[in-house]
Amino acid sequence: MHVVHLTNAYAPASGGVRTMLHALGEGYAPHGHRLTAVVPAASRGVDHEPWGVRVRLPGPRVPGTAGYRVLLDAAAVRRTLDQLAPDRVEVSDRFTLRHVGAWSRAHGVPSVLFAHERLDGLARTLAHLPASTARAAADVANRRWAASFDRIVVTTAYGGEELDRIGVPTVRVPLGVDLDVFHPGARTRGPAGPDVVLALCSRLSPEKKPHTAVATLALLRAEGVDARLVVLGDGPEASRLRRLAADLPVTFLGHVEDRRAVARTLADADVTLAPGPLETFGLAAAESLACGTPVVAARGSAVAGLAAQASEPGEFARRVVELVGAGGSARAAARARAERLGWATTVRSLLRLHGAPARDAPAMSG
């Protein structure tokens, strides 16, 4: 089976969707299937990678997104699909690629839409719409998207809520985490230190609320806690965040491409902060848990089901103190939660959804 996956959420500094794509390609291959990713880029090209094939189509840069581009040339996308002749189509996008569903129907190719984000939340946060207006706009958009694709995949109950309320059936397929790369053994710090190390691993954009991490650090230090913060990620809020952190011990690492370096940083932290209230899965939080580092997450987000919960910086700070005080038991509990997540389970679930055979041998580590 040849699966073609199209997405706009693929850039040099992107995170969750790109990680998922690579993991699916690596996971499909041992079962005898192959993945081709179609993504926007500065120039046209084809790259053969260990996980599959990446087809780059020219797409304009989206201002204020730290390098993201968008597939706007629908005709070029359809020509590419004609050439690739997929057996199944997957789409991770609810912005410009709805026409891919029409192509799939016309060619008799089953299609799956991944609903990675909450449109109602994005409308509130990015467009600053009132909650009722944001909800109505999201409902209209979601009905159109649902009508264009055969199946819709959500990764968590939270991610599916806006589709549930308009009666759109979804299939829940939790994403995974690489339990071998992200492991407590990646830790290089001693079992305890004089300071408290916080980590934030996130795209630095408004809907992720990265400023909450800096505010949490400031409160902890005001209370006499010798805390510091390490930030992995980049985005449009980076400059503002640096200004907010000017007088605080914050290390900005930018986007870190090396996954093992990310694992070491997360494992060396005492607590990871996940302040984004709109997270529908939170891959970075799952990776932190896999490293044995507990997480404090925004109350109401999908991550909150795996982590301590907080709503504002003061509560984030209190939860940090509690987790640090719990010591090794909190770290053991974090790893135990992550071990329920693995890419092999995700791959098998998607292959069942595609009606494709899965071999008995394990698909992949984790």
Contact status, residue 205 vs residue 268, Cβ threshold 8 Å: no
CATH architecture label of 184-338: 3-Layer(aba) Sandwich (3.40)
> pLDDT, tens digit, for every residue of 103-118?
999 999 999 999 988 9
Q: Is the pLDDT of residue 306 over 90?
A: no
Q: Is the pLDDT of residue 319 over 60?
A: yes
Q: Is the dihedral of CA 190, 196, 200, 204 positive or negative?
A: negative
Average pLDDT, integer, range 257-264:
94
Q: How confident is the model at residue 193 (pLDDT cuts 50, 70, 90)?
A: low
What is the pTM (predicted TM-score) of this model?
0.85
Residue 197, SS3? Answer: strand
Instruction: List the alpha helices (DSSP H) in 127-254.
Output: 131-148, 157-164, 211-222, 238-244
Q: How confident is the model at residue 348 (pLDDT cuts 50, 70, 90)?
A: very high
Tell me which of 57-61, 123-127, 137-141 is least confident: 123-127
Q: Cβ of 300: how many Cβ atoms within 10 Å?
A: 14
CA atoms within 13 A of residue 347's CA, in its CB half-sphere: 31
* Count of all residues that appear for the chain in the document: 366
Q: Cβ of 126: how many Cβ atoms within 10 Å?
A: 13
Q: What is the mean pLDDT of the chain?
A: 92
Contact status, residue 178 vs residue 197, Cβ threshold 8 Å: no
Q: Is the pLDDT of residue 361 over 70?
A: no
Q: Which residue has the tokens 């690579």?
A: 22
Amino acid at 158: Y
Domain 2-176+342-354 has CATH 3.40.50.1860: no
Q: How confident is the model at residue 366 (pLDDT cuts 50, 70, 90)?
A: low
Tokens of 236: 């449009």
Portions of the chain given CATH number 3.40.50.2000: 2-176+342-354, 184-338
